[in-house]
Structure 1
C-alpha cells in the first residue's frame, strides 16, 4: 500500500483548522440528531420497520443524488457547495422543530425530513472530500483525515448524542433547533475559507491504474467516477467490501435503540450515554490511525478494522448485557474510525483530482445505498426473527467482506506486476 508520509513537525495550517471547526460544528449537530431522530421515531411508533425506515431515509439520498453531487463537487467551488448544503439543512431542521413543537409530526414527516437532510449531506460530504487535498500537503493527508474523523467522532458520538437525548427529554423539538443553529455557525466559518476553495478543483495525474487519456472513456459526466473506479481492482474491491460492512453495521444499529430499551432496560438518556461511550475508542482510533498506517500499511489496517467493525456486534447475541454493549460500541467505533481514515486517505492519494468528487460520490453512493438497505433489512429481520438476527447478519458479513479484501489486496507473486501501485 501507499506508505504514510505524515510530517508531524509541521502545522496543518489555519485554513485547515477553520475548515475543521466548521466540520466539528456540523458534526455536533449531526450527533444531536443521531440520538434525537430514533428517539422521536420510537415515540411516534413501536414498529421496528418504521423506526428503521427513519435510519434508512438518511442514506437513500446517496442512491438518488450521489452521482450528481460528485459531478457538482468536481465542477463547482467547494466553499459554495458546502455553505449551500448546510443552509438547506437549516431550513429542513427548522421545519422539523416547528412540527414537533406543535404536535403535528408523524413518522412519514420524519422520514421525509431525514431524506432531505441526507440530500444536503451528499453535497456537503462530497465537496469536503475534494477540499482536503487543497488545504494540506499530500504528506499530511492521513494526519488531516485523522483529525477530521476525531472531530466527527467527538460531535457524532461523544458530545452530540447525550446532548441530543437530554434536549429531547427537556423538549422534543429542542434537538432539531440546536442542530440548525450549529449548522448556521458552520456556514459562516465555511464562507471565511480561502479563495482557493471558491474555485473548482484542478486536475492532476492519477498515480495508479491504467493511463487516463484519449483511449479511456470521457471524464465528463456524472458516471465518469464509476467508470474510472470500475477499472481499479484494489479501490473497486475496497468500495464493495466497505459497502458490505456499512450494510452490516447499519442493520444492527438501525434497531439498536429498541434493543437498548427492551433488552438492556435503557431509557432515552441511557441510550444517548451508551452511544457516547464509543467515543473514547473512536477518538483514540482516529488519532492513532496515521501511526498504524505508517507501521502496518493500509492493507493490514483495513483488514482488521473491517473485521472488528462488522464482527464485534455479534457479542451481544451471546452476552446481552450492558457491559457487553459498552465493549461493542467502543470496539466498533474505534475500528470504524481507523477504517475511515485509511480508506479516505488511500482514495485521496490514488484518484485524479478532477475525478475525486465523482469517485468519492460513487463510492459513497454504493456504501450509503447498502447502508440504507441494511437498515431496512435489520428492521425486517428484527420484526420477523427477533432482535438477535441483525447482529448475526453483521457477523456473517464480517467474515465474507474481510476474506474478499484479503484475497484481492494480497501482494502480487514474485515477478508479477501488481494491479495497483498502492
Structure 2
C-alpha cells in the first residue's frame, strides 16, 4: 500500500521546513559570533531561538486544534519568509545588532512551533491508519536529515560566502514550502469538526487547560510523557559534554567532532527508517522499552572504552534508538489521541521534552564539573533505567498500549 501523492507533497514541504530550521541552527550562532565576542550575547541569540517552545508551544497546540492545518502551515511559512527578508535587508544595510538578531530568532521560533505542531496533527488525515508508522518514519527521517545534516551544512557553507546568504536560501525554501502545501487537497488539511456538535470554540487558555486535563487523565500517554522527559534529560546530559569529552579524552578537533555528529545523523536516519518494521504488528510497547534502554544506556560504554571507534558506535546507536523512539511515540499518540485534542497533546509533549532537554544539558554540565567528564554518561544510564522501569509498568497494560 502506497503513502500517496498528497502525503509525499506534504512530506517535501515538511522536509524543506526542517532544512530551513537546520540552516538557521548554523547561521544564527555564526551571525551572533560575528557581531560580538561576548559569550552571554551569543548565548542570548541561542536562547531566543529555543525559548518559543516553552513560551508559545501550548498556545500553538490549542491553535492546531481550532484552526485549519492548511492555514496554519501557510501562515507560519509565509511569516518566516517575510521575517527572513527583513533580516536580509538589515544585514545588507550593515545595521544588524544582537537585540535585533535575537528578536528575529524568537519570531522565527514562534512560527516553527506553530508549523511543527500543525504538521504533526495532519498525518492521520493524509494516510490510512495501517500506514501511520511508515509515514511517521519517513517524516522523522526527513526531520533528522534536514535539521541535523543538510541544513547545518548548507547554513555554514553559505555563511562563509556571505552573512545574508543562508537567510536568503531559508526564505526561498519557506516560500517553496508554501507552494507545496497549496498542492495538498484542502479537504485533507481542513479544520476537524468537534466530537460534540454542540461544542463551542473556547478561549486559548481554556483550550490549553482542557487538553492538559485530557492528557493527565490518560494512563498510557501520561506515563509516556514522563518517559519522554526522562529520556530527554538523559540524552541532553551526556550530549552536552560530548564536545569536551571528544577533545579531552579522544583528541578530536572540530573536524573530528563534526564527523562524529554526522555519524549520529546517519544513525538517526537508520533508526527512523527501520522503525516501521520494528513496530510491525503494533509492537509499540517493547520498541519504546528497548529504544529507551539503548538511547540512555549506550553512553556508559565510553566510561569503559574511551576510544574513537567506541564513540562512533555510541553516537550511531543512541541516535538510531532515539529515531526509533520518536517514531514509536509519535505513532502511539496518533493512534490513542482523539483528533480534537491532538494538537494540544503534541504541543504538551514537545514543550515538556524540549524543556527537559534544556535542564538535562545544565545537569550534565554541572555533574561533569563536579565529578568528571564521564559522570554524565552514568547519569544518563540511571535516568534511562528509571524510564525503562516506568514504561515497563505501564506497558503491561498490553492492548491499550498497542492501540
TM-score of the alignment, normalized to the shorter chain, above 0.5: yes
User: C-alpha displacement at 1:185, in angstroms?
Assistant: 1.4
Tell whether 2:282 aligns with 1:291.
no
Match among 356, 379, 382 for residue 370 of structure 1: 356
Match among 105, 117, 125 for residue 134 of structure 1: 125
User: C-alpha displacement at 1:299, in angstroms?
Assistant: 0.9
User: C-alpha displacement at 1:68, in angstroms?
Assistant: 1.2
Residues paired across the two proteins, number? 393
**CA 1:339–1:198 in 2, change beyond 3 Å: closer, same or farther?**
closer
Q: Is the 8 A contact 2:332 2:402 kept in 1?
A: no
Match among 226, 241, 246 for residue 240 of structure 1: 226
Q: Is the 8 A contact 1:312 1:328 kept in 2?
A: yes
Tell whether 2:148 aligns with 1:157.
yes
User: C-alpha displacement at 1:168, in angstroms?
Assistant: 3.8
- Equivalent residue, structure 2, for 1:79: 70
- Equivalent residue, structure 2, for 1:356: 342
**CA 1:35–1:334 in 2, change beyond 3 Å: closer, same or farther?**
farther
Gaps of 5+ in 1: 1-9, 206-212, 214-218, 413-417
Q: RMSD across aligned C-alpha pairs, in angstroms? A: 3.3
Gaps of 5+ in 2: 200-204
User: C-alpha displacement at 1:99, in angstroms?
Assistant: 6.1
User: C-alpha displacement at 1:411, in angstroms?
Assistant: 4.2
Bigger helix fraction: 2
- Equivalent residue, structure 2, for 1:89: 80
Q: Is the 8 A contact 2:24 2:167 kept in 1?
A: yes
- Equivalent residue, structure 2, for 1:216: none
Q: Is the 8 A contact 1:162 1:273 kept in 2?
A: no
Q: Is the 8 A contact 2:53 2:113 kept in 1?
A: yes
User: C-alpha displacement at 1:395, in angstroms?
Assistant: 2.8
User: C-alpha displacement at 1:19, in angstroms?
Assistant: 0.1
Aligned equivalents of 2:293, 2:276: Cα separation in 1: 19
Aligned residue runs from structure 1 range 230-269, under 5 A: 230-254=216-240, 256=242, 264-267=251-254
SS of equivalent residue, structure 2 residue 381:
helix
Tell whether 2:207 aligns with 1:221.
yes
Aligned equivalents of 2:369, 2:162: Cα separation in 1: 29
User: C-alpha displacement at 1:317, in angstroms?
Assistant: 4.6
Tell whether 2:7 aligns with 1:25.
no
**CA 1:41–1:159 in 2, change beyond 3 Å: closer, same or farther?**
same
Aligned equivalents of 1:123, 1:117: Cα separation in 2: 10
**CA 1:243–1:58 in 2, change beyond 3 Å: closer, same or farther?**
farther
Residues 4-55 of structure 1 show CA distances to partners (whole Å, capped at 9, x for unaligned) of: xxxxxx21111111000001111122223334445556775585x8776655
**CA 1:204–1:304 in 2, change beyond 3 Å: closer, same or farther?**
farther
SS of equivalent residue, structure 1 residue 223:
helix
TM-score of the two chains, using structure 1 as the length reference: 0.81
Q: After the TM superposition, which of the residue ranges 345-354 and 174-183 deviates more from structure 2?
A: 174-183
Q: After the TM superposition, which of the residue ranges 237-246 and 194-203 deviates more from structure 2?
A: 194-203
Q: Is the 8 A contact 1:53 1:376 kept in 2?
A: no
Tell whether 2:184 aligns with 1:193.
yes
